[in-house]
Structure 1
Amino acid sequence: MAKACKDKSRIEFFPNCYQEVTLMETTNAPEIARGETTLIGTSIVIKGDLSCGEDLYIDGQVEGTIDPKGNRLTIGPHGRVKASVNASAVVVQGKLEGSIQASDRVDLKKSAVVTGDIATQRISIDDGAYFKGRVNIQRESPKKEVVRAAAP
C-alpha cells in the first residue's frame, strides 16, 4: 500500500524506492466543442457501427460507420478512421478513409489526411491538408411555399 510522504510530489511504495509525480498543464490540447460531447480517446479501438445523440470527438481508431445523428463529428489529430460518416458538421485533424455526408459543413484542418468522397453544403480545406476524392457541393433545399386556393 502506498504511503504519503511529507513531500507531496512523491509516493512511497517501498522503503527506499520513490516515484516522482509531476503535474503538467496541457497547453496544446485540441479544442473540443462545449456541451455534450462523447470522447473516444487515443487508446480506444472500435470496429462496427457507431451512433450517438450528441457531438462526437474521436482521437482513437474507428472502423465501420459513424452516425452522430445530425450532430458534429471531430476527428482529432491522433484519430484514425476508416468509415462512412453521416453528420451535420465534420472537422478532420487526423486521418479519415471513407465517404463523408455532412448536412452543413466539412472542415479539413492542416494536419488532415482524407481519402474519399465528400457531400456537403460548405467545405473549407486548410493549406497543408491532404485530400483525395470528389466533392459534391449540395445546395440547401428551397423551402416550398404552400399556396392555398381561395374559397369560391
Structure 2
Amino acid sequence: MSIFPQSSARKEATPSFAREDGPAGREPTPAIADFQPADVPFQPARTPAQVPQPKESVIASDLTIEGKISGSGHIRIAGRFKGDVNVEGDLTIDGGARLNGGVRAKRVNVAGELEGNIDSAERVELQPSAVLIGDVKAGTLIVSSGSRIRGHVECGWDEASTPAAQGKGDRAKDSKDKTGLDVVP
C-alpha cells in the first residue's frame, strides 16, 4: 500500500531552469561596474571631538644619536641620545634607553637613564627602573619605588607661590598700574 498516488507519467531526469518566456539558451547580461576614481577623494566629516593628535617620533633601541631635538610633537627614546631635548609635547625614555642632556617637555616619563636636568615640566614620572642624575623642576613629580635620583628637586612651585614673590606681599600686587604694566619702585 502506498500513501501517495502513483502516477504512470515519467518525470524528467533534470529540471529545467530556463525561463519559458525568453529565448532558449540566452544568459542574462551581467551588471557593469564603473571603477574610475572619483574627482574628489573621500574625506570623512570631522566632529569637534576628533582633534588631530600630535605624532610620536621614536629613536629605536638599536640607534645611537647625537644632536639636538626640538619641536611640538611627542618623543620616545628607546636607544641612546646625547644632546638636549626641547619639545612642547611629551618625552618618554623607555627602559634600557639612555639620554645625556637637558630636557624641556610638557610631561616626562623615565623608565631608563637620564643624565641631565629636567626644567619646567608639568609632570615628571619616574618608573621603578628609572635612574635620574640631575636637577628636576616640575609641577608634579611621581617617584615609583625602586627608581633612583641624584640631584636637586623643586616640585609644586610656580612663580606666584615662590618665597620671593610671597615676601613682597601686597607691594607686588600694588606695583601694577591701570595699564597692566609693572611699575618698578
Give the alignment of 1:67-82 within 5 angstroms. 67-68=86-87, 70-82=88-100
CA-CA distance at 1:48 after TM superposition:
1.5
Number of aligned residues: 113
> Is contact 1:89-1:102 (8 Å) kept?
no
> Is contact 1:96-1:115 (8 Å) kept?
yes
CA distance in 1, matches of 2:89, 2:72: 7
The one-letter amino acid of 2:142's match is S
CA-CA distance at 1:141 after TM superposition:
4.5
Q: Once the two structures are superposed, what CA deviation does each residue of 1:16-57 show, in whole Å capped at 9, x if it has no partner?
A: xxxxxxxxxxxxxxxxxx851111110111111111320111
CA distance in 1, matches of 2:69, 2:119: 15
CA-CA distance at 1:147 after TM superposition:
8.5
**Cα RMSD, aligned residues only:** 2.0
Match of 1:58 in 2: 77
Give the alignment of 1:89-128 within 5 angstroms. 89-128=107-146
* Length-normalised TM-score, structure 1: 0.67
What secondary structure is seen at the aligned counterpart in 2 of 1:121? strand
Gaps of 5+ in 2: 1-52, 161-172, 180-185
CA-CA distance at 1:71 after TM superposition:
1.0
Residue 40 of structure 1 pairs with residue 59 of structure 2:
yes
Looking at secondary structure, tell me which structure has more strand per residue. Answer: 1
Greater RCO structure (CA 8 Å; 6+ sep): 1
* Length-normalised TM-score, structure 2: 0.56
The one-letter amino acid of 1:55's match is H
Q: Once the two structures are superposed, what CA deviation does each residue of 1:58-87 show, in whole Å capped at 9, x if it has no partner?
A: 00101111111x211000012111010111
State the percentage of identical aligned residues: 28
CA distance in 2, matches of 1:40, 1:124: 24
Runs of 4+ in 1 over 6 A off after TM superposition: none
